[in-house]
Amino acid sequence: MRIEPSTQHGRLVWASWLAVRLAVVGSLAGCPGQLDDKAEFDAYAEAHGDAGAPAGMNVAGSSPGAAGTMSAGACGDVVARIFTPSCGGTGCHSAVAPQQDLDLVSPGVAARVVGVSAKQCVQVLADPANPEQSLLYQKLAVKPPCGAQMPLARPALSSADVACVLGWIAAQ
């Protein structure tokens, strides 16, 4: 529908329409998937290949059980680099009203998840003795054993990051 701003009423309708459009565009500015530093992303992708993992490395695909683990050095601080932005960045698993009482951001994450049973799924959140059976790892698969794939309503983690989560669980 084309609105002609030739009358006072038309201008008011047009201005309202424009304000709504600008508000929608403005609200999308912080959506997941935007890059803060494209050059850093390109350098990382070039160094790690298209999948984001070193060549020849066995990393998680779309299902649990197919993963290798990455070394702590390759993954860095998993809580700060993966959990905080992907799990807590939207407020879902942060200290403020954490979903399922699961805070993956505040200091002491390992103490809150290792050997701890999940609230709704009948599984341990993180089991270092059997990391591939850990719910934190399995929820990253396309079809987890219960509930939805995480992060919810955000892009899935790369296979390299999934492997890092698996390695983090195994190292606890």
CB 163 within 8 A of CB 72: no
Spans of all domains in the chain: 1-29, 53-171
DSSP type of residue 77 = -
pLDDT per position as a tens digit, 61-101: 333 333 455 555 789 999 999 999 999 887 899 998 899 99
H helices of 1-54, in order, are 8-27, 38-48
CB 134 within 8 A of CB 143: no
Cα separation, 25 vs 118, in Å, equals 38
Question: Quick one: pLDDT at residue 113?
Answer: 97
